[in-house]
Amino acid sequence: MISSLHRPTKAKITLDAVSQNIKAVMEHIPSNPKVWAVVKANAYGHGAIAVSHHIESQVDGFCVSNVDEAIELRQAGIKKSILVLGVVLPEEIYLAKDYHLSLTIASMDWYVLAKELGTSLKGLVCHIKVDSGMGRIGVRSQSEAEQLITSLESDGAIVEGIFTHFATADEADESQFNQQLSFFKTLIAGLEKCPPLVHASNSATSIWHAETVFNAVRLGVVIYGLNPSGYTLAMPYALTPALSLESALVHVKEVPAGVAIGYGGTYHSEQAEIIGTLPIGYADGWTRDMQDFKVLVDGQFCQIVGRVSMDQVTIRLPKRYPLGTRVTLIGENGQESLSATDVADKRGTINYEVLCLLSDRVPREYD
Ligand SMILES: *Cc1c(COP(=O)(O)O)cnc(C)c1O
């Protein structure tokens, strides 16, 4: 989808907020681990290239979810290490070598397939993934980890790291977290030769289990200034959200009582009302379930009335405002603010998804 520059809808990103958030998290970790910024999914909607350039000197490397995201960064001139967190099938290994990427290796089956395909693993930099209880990818026993490391090394691959991922680090109940941690620790301790980089900490772990960090952390949502638990666990220190979403009034009208607004006529004005229209809709990631939610105009909350369409949203205004009046959908406006977490709560989802769903049609503007 083309980025639509000639309308007042945009995501504004403060890159310095990302730097400040990384600093804040690292200051609260008692050890001194390596820092990898997780910039998958276009840096959670913030723009992977812009974010990565801005923080490259501050971090030790980057994590992405697939090879294409990694290549995007290399082509943009990013030089630091890039770890691909998802499984890359053996036929794509040549890309990892061409672009100097580190790959996640998650099973002996993968290794066997690579051998069957006759793929050379020489010089491939890899991290072994351990499934300590997340249940997605990774080896589930120490013997498989051991066998994988030995096999990869015998083929000339460089096993640089070993890692796992927690499923519940953002929850108040720590039982699964503790089980996963002890499984991973035991597995590591029993390895004949442990790879140099050991990492297990996502944002939530780095915040609420900072004492468990191994020698590297993978920081995702927290660097964008959001609480990984939503409103479940309180942040022990302040973060600054890096993204705000803004639009503007492009149409304002007064309607008498009883007038239908939007597809399906799901809303009828209750009395004489001022209705404003914004050029944003579900094709921008402002999903249909935002009906009845609110936006900010002139420091006041205004309700979204009627259906959210593909390209437009209608709101009820307290008075007539001029065309072009700024409207905030995420961020601050006057004394009030709306966060991605507020939006997520209304949708019954998590703030991550709200940001990732902002589509390419919304231009990203940086300061
Ligand atoms: C996405 C991801 C992260 C980052 O998660 P946050 O909760 O955003 O910090 C870290 N590790 C892995 C394996 C991931 O997939």
pLDDT single digits (tens) 76-130: 999 999 999 999 999 999 999 999 999 999 999 999 999 999 999 999 999 999 9
**The ligand 1 atom nearest the CA atom of 129:** 13
Q: Which atom of ligand 1 is nearest to the CA of 206?
A: 9
Query: Is 54 close to ligand 1, i.e. is its CB under 6 Å away?
Result: no
Residue type, 350: I
Place of tokens 């997780």: 38
pLDDT at 138: 98
CB 99 within 8 Å of CB 88: no
Please provide the average confidence, as pLDDT, over all residues in the chain: 98
Burial of 91 (0-12, 13-18, 19+ CB in 10 A): exposed
The one-letter code for the residue type at 180 is Q
**Span from the CA of 218 to the centroid of ligand 1 (angstroms):** 6
For atom 1 of ligand 1, which residue has the closest CA?
220
Q: What is the pLDDT of residues 268-300, one digit of tens each?
A: 999 999 999 999 999 999 999 999 999 999 999
| pTM summary value | 0.97
Any atom of ligand 1 within 6 Å of the Cβ of 90: no
pLDDT of residue 217: 98
350 Cβ closer than 6 Å to some ligand 1 atom: no
Residue 42, sorted as left (phi over 0), alpha (psi -120 to 50) or beta, turns out to be left
Q: Is 38 in the pocket of ligand 1 (CB under 6 A)?
A: yes
- Read off the pLDDT of residues 317-364 as tens digits, 9 standing for 90 and up: 999 999 999 999 999 999 999 999 999 999 999 999 999 999 999 999
Compute the distance from residue 366 Cα to the ligand 1 centre, in Å.
24
Q: List, for residues 33-67, the tens digit of each pLDDT value.
A: 999 999 999 999 999 999 999 999 999 999 999 99
> Residues 1-27, buried b or exposed e (16+ Cβ, 10 A)?
eeebeebbbbbbbbbebbbbbbebbbe
Q: What is the pLDDT of residue 216?
A: 98
Q: What is the pLDDT of residues 10-40, one digit of tens each?
A: 999 999 999 999 999 999 999 999 999 999 9
Query: By alpha-carbon position, which residue is closest to atom 4 of ligand 1?
Result: 220
Q: How far is the CA of 287 from the centre of ligand 1 (A)?
A: 24
Please check whether residue 19 is in contact with residue 37, taking contact to mean a CB–CB distance below 8 angstroms: no
Average pLDDT over residues 287-315: 98
Partners of 222 in beta bridges? none
The answer to whether 205 touches 166, Cβ cutoff 8 Å, is yes
Residue 199 Cβ < 6 Å to ligand 1: no
Closest CA to 111 of 136, 134, 130, 88: 88
Distance 194 CA to ligand 1 centre (A): 22
* C-beta separation of 114 from 93 below 8 A: yes
What's the rounded Cα separation, in Å, for the pair 181 and 167? 11
Ligand 1 center from residue 356 Cα (angstroms): 13
Residue nearest to atom 8 of ligand 1 (CA): 220
- Is the CB of 129 inside a 6 Å radius of any atom of ligand 1? no
Rounded to an integer, the average pLDDT of 156-178 is 98
Q: 149: Cβ–Cβ under 8 A, 6 or more apart, which residues?
A: 128, 159, 162, 191, 193, 195
Residue nearest ligand 1's atom 6 by CA: 220
Distance 33 CA to ligand 1 centre (A): 16
From 202, 207, 232, mutation site for ligand 1 pocket: most ligand atoms within 8 A of C-beta? 202
Q: Which residues sit opposite 253 in a β-bridge?
A: 275
pLDDT digits (tens, 9 = 90+) for 242-260: 999 999 999 999 999 999 9
Q: What does the CA dihedral 259, 267, 362, 44 come to, rounded to 10 degrees?
A: 170
Question: Nearest residue CA, atom 10 of ligand 1?
Answer: 202
Catalytic residues: 40, 263
User: Which residue lies with its CA nearest to atom 11 of ligand 1?
Assistant: 202
Say what the pLDDT of residue 63 is: 99
